[in-house]
């Protein structure tokens, strides 16, 4: 069973690893993927971010308690989806660049700056990378912000954003249930519910739900275990 990775297999992110290209004999390499469900919501005073906890290598779950909410700076986090190697590498690079920039300025960095650093790397190396990232955090200038940097390297700010393979199943739920002006607890509940629904339907998402809220006071992290997830009418 090919669990070892020799090189990054660049393949169609939608169809996942092992899709066959026309005509040529292809060796099926299993990439370590966080095909996942990630979500970030802005509220007045901060942001709430959430992710599932499954990392897969083909059909094997390499890590069932992954932490996909990565700290970039004190009040700036990113949610990672796509290739685990790519996103870990980019996050490390951006964290270094941002830390350096913050020392130069002698003040906390802006979320928009972090998002632009992600975008710069993702766009420049778009042919080699498979990374979909949500950058979220709090800064003094604009408060809570969520920026989406999907595969390809676009950058857009949105009040609520979902990403990863499981996100397709919850667009409808998110559109129907998100309302501007929710408070922190409502955002937490919405994120937990949305992630549970996605984990129920997407084979590449599962495990526990990790949540974090970032505001002027700081970062508060929560974990919701499998048996405590919100349940919906089973039919």
Partner 1 sequence: MEKHCTESRVKGVSTGTTILAAVFDGGVVIGSDSRASMGEEYVSSKTINKVIQVHDRIFCCIAGSLADAQAITKAAKFHLSFHSVQMESPPRVMAAASVLKDLCYKNREELQAGFITAGWDKKNGPQVYVVALGGMLINQLVTIAGSGSTYIYGYIDAKYKPNMTKEECLQFATNALALAMGRDNVSGGVAHLVVVTEKGVEHVVVPGDKLPKFHDE
Binding-site ranges for partner 1 (CB under 8 A): 12-15, 127, 168-180, 193-194, 197-198, 200-201, 232-233, 235
Q: Residue 82 and residue 72: Cα distance in Å, rounded?
A: 18
Q: Which residues pair with 43 in a beta bridge?
A: 46
Q: How far is CA 213 from the centre of its chain?
A: 14
CB of 122 to partner 1, least distance (A): 15
Nearer Cβ to partner 1 (83/102): 83
Asked if residue 132 lies in contact with residue 40, where contact means CB atoms within 8 angstroms, the answer is: no
Ordered alpha helix ranges (H), 65-179? 84-105, 111-124, 171-177
| Dihedral (Cα; 183, 188, 194, 199), 10-degree rounding | 170
Nearer Cβ to partner 1 (139/202): 202
CB of 72 to partner 1, least distance (A): 27
Q: Is 37 a catalytic residue?
A: no
CB of 13 to partner 1, least distance (A): 7
Nearer Cβ to partner 1 (21/106): 21
CB of 234 to partner 1, least distance (A): 9
Please count the CA atoms within 13 angstroms of the CA of 17 that sit on its side-chain side: 24
Nearer Cβ to partner 1 (135/194): 194
Catalytic option among 36, 55, 66, 113: 36
Q: Residue 65 and residue 30: Cα distance in Å, rounded?
A: 20
User: Pairing relation of β-strands 69-73 and 32-34?
Assistant: unpaired
Active site residues: 36
């Amino acid at each position: 069973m090919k669990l070892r990775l020799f090189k990054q297999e660049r393949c169609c992110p939608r169809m996942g690893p092992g899709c066959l290209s026309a005509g040529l004999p292809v060796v099926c390499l299993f990439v370590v993927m966080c095909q996942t469900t990630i979500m970030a919501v802005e509220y007045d005073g901060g942001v709430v971010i959430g992710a599932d906890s499954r990392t897969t290598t083909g059909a094997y779950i390499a890590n069932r308690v992954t932490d996909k909410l990565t700290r970039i700076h004190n009040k700036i986090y990113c949610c990672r989806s796509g290739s685990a190697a790519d996103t870990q590498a980019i996050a490390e690079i951006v964290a270094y660049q941002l830390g350096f920039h913050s020392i130069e300025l002698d003040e906390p960095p802006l979320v928009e700056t972090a998002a632009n650093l992600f975008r710069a790397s993702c766009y420049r190396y778009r042919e080699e990378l498979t990374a979909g990232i949500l950058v979220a955090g709090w800064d003094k200038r604009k408060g809570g912000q969520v920026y989406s940097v999907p595969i390809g390297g676009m950058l857009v700010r949105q009040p609520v954003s979902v990403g990863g393979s499981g996100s397709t199943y919850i667009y409808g739920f998110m559109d129907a249930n998100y309302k501007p002006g929710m408070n922190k607890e409502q955002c937490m509940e919405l994120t937990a519910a949305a992630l549970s629904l996605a984990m129920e339907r997407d084979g590449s998402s599962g495990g526990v739900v990790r949540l974090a809220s970032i505001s002027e006071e700081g970062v508060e992290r929560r974990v919701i275990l499998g048996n405590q997830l919100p349940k919906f009418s089973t039919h």
